[in-house]
Amino acid sequence: MELYAILKIVWALLLGVLLVGLGTMVGMDMGVGTLLRFIGRNDVERRTALNIIGPHWDGNQVWFILGGGAIFAAFPTLYATSFSTFYIVMILLLFSMIIRPVAFEYRSKVDARNWRDTWDWAFLISGALPMVIYGAAFGNVLQGVGFHFAWDGQYYQDESFIWYLLNPFAILCGILSLCLSVQQAGAMLMIRGEEPIYGRARHYAVTAGLTAAALFVIGGIWVQFIKGFAYVGAVDPAMAANPLASPPVTVRAGAWMNNFHAHPVLWLVPVLGLIGMLGCALSLRAGRPILGWWLGALAWIGTIGTAGAAMFPFLMPSTTMPSQSLSVWNASSSAYTLGWMLVFTVIFVPAIIAYTSWAFRVMGGKVRTETVARNDHSY
């Protein structure tokens, strides 16, 4: 296989790694935001929950930024087209994402009930909404999006944005994503929290994990009936990245199962996802939150991996002009860019993982409600 094709595949995998990182790390913080009002029945309890992820949310959030940057660099046409066609949804996502850092930093800096209550609602919305949108984006992409390109590479949107928010499969994916984030948040709150936060977190996380597993199975069955996309005949993986010069694409129900039929080993991916969700719920039930946290991460790998395995090589298929569907082959950067980006990734991703782990170790240990209560100016 040509080097360019290999680079494209490597970057498709790395994109998956980034999306999993985003789901796991940002999702965890989002879940804490979502649960804040339910886990913490009074101000001190809420502040304790916030202080559990306090030293880390800022670093975690960079997975989101890096996700954006990496899609831009590795799949520029996907970045340009998906962010623009999903405009209203993306803007809502952005609004949530920018409210959150401010909520963290400002909530506990003023000792007034209304002030803190307002920010707590901000946490709920800015935690739940992005996770629903994150999942719904996968749901929409799996069903194909209505867009086409003009000769110069400019996209045109062919359907209303309302559909992205209100289609049932996307909503299912959105709730699945929210459940996974709540599960991850619950595991973290149990790792660093004490009663009553510990017990409440367990309750919500176990429920969320089991719900996620059920939704994942339902979604899997549903996908059999959704129209999938497939290239007709041979496609050159090393083709020049130009969606306007791509081979024809067919659309038919069940086509998303093609990869699983061709490579049965891929069934391991959804199985791992299910093991992750159920295993996480069981470990949390059994009071093993650290194990649960890692199984929660496995659930993300399984979920995003399943979507990727079903769609590969497609990234964002077009329902109105299927031959212009964006795929790993036609939406990527040049070999030169992918190569340089890989060099930086190989150097810096291990470094990021190393210092993030160190940060978690330095800050390890239980966060006690009394100590948070005594500190007027922590989060």
Segment interacting with other proteins (CB under 8 A) among 26-34, 167-175, 213-221, 238-246 = 238-246
Question: Shortest Cβ distance from residue 330 to other proteins (Å)?
Answer: 9
β-partners of residue 147 are 157
271 binds other proteins (CB under 8 A): no
Question: Shortest Cβ distance from residue 24 to other proteins (Å)?
Answer: 15
DSSP state, 56?
A: T
100 binds other proteins (CB under 8 A): yes
Give yes or no for a contact between 378 and 111, defined as CB atoms under 8 angstroms apart.
no
Question: Shortest Cβ distance from residue 343 to other proteins (Å)?
Answer: 9
Sign of CA dihedral 13, 307, 325, 64: negative
98 binds other proteins (CB under 8 A): yes
Polymer length of the chain: 379
Helix segments in the chain, DSSP class H: 3-21, 27-39, 43-53, 57-74, 76-85, 87-106, 113-143, 162-166, 168-192, 197-223, 258-262, 268-285, 289-311, 335-362, 369-374
Segment interacting with other proteins (CB under 8 A) among 95-103, 215-223, 247-255, 270-278 = 95-103
Q: Which is nearer to other proteins, 18 or 269 (CB)?
A: 18
Q: Which is nearer to other proteins, 54 or 317 (CB)?
A: 54
What is the rounded distance in angstroms from the CA atom of residue 371 to the CA atom of residue 69? 39
Q: Which is nearer to other proteins, 263 or 374 (CB)?
A: 374
Question: Shortest Cβ distance from residue 162 to other proteins (Å)?
Answer: 12
Q: Which is nearer to other proteins, 149 or 169 (CB)?
A: 149
245 binds other proteins (CB under 8 A): yes
What is the rounded distance in angstroms from the CA atom of residue 344 to the CA atom of residue 346? 6
Per CB under 8 A, the list member of 41, 101, 214, 271 interacting with other proteins is 101
Interface of this chain with other proteins, residues 353 to 372, rule: CB under 8 A: 355-356, 359, 362-363, 365, 367-368, 371-372
What number of chain residues touch other proteins (CB under 8 A)?
85
DSSP state, 316?
A: E
- DSSP letters spanning 243-290: GGGPPPEEEEETGGGHHHHH-GGGGHHHHHHHHHHHHHHHHHHTT-HH
Q: x/- contact string, 193-232, with other proteins (CB under 8 A)?
A: ----------------------------------------
77 binds other proteins (CB under 8 A): yes
Q: Which is nearer to other proteins, 64 or 312 (CB)?
A: 64
Give yes or no for a contact between 27 and 181, defined as CB atoms under 8 angstroms apart.
yes
DSSP state, 147?
A: E
Per CB under 8 A, the list member of 3, 88, 268, 290 interacting with other proteins is 88
Per CB under 8 A, the list member of 244, 251, 257, 278 interacting with other proteins is 244
Structure tokens at 281: 């719920």
Interface of this chain with other proteins, residues 323 to 342, rule: CB under 8 A: 333-334, 336-337, 340-341
Q: x/- contact string, 25-54, with other proteins (CB under 8 A)?
A: -----------------------x--x--x
238 binds other proteins (CB under 8 A): no
What is the rounded distance in angstroms from the CA atom of residue 221 to the CA atom of residue 258? 14
Structure tokens at 375: 């500190």
Q: Which is nearer to other proteins, 11 or 256 (CB)?
A: 11
Interface of this chain with other proteins, residues 155 to 174, rule: CB under 8 A: 155-157, 161
Spell out the residues 6+ positions from residue 149 whose beta carbon is closer than 8 angstroms to its own: 155, 156, 243, 244, 321, 324
**CA 18 to chain CA centroid, nearest Å:** 9
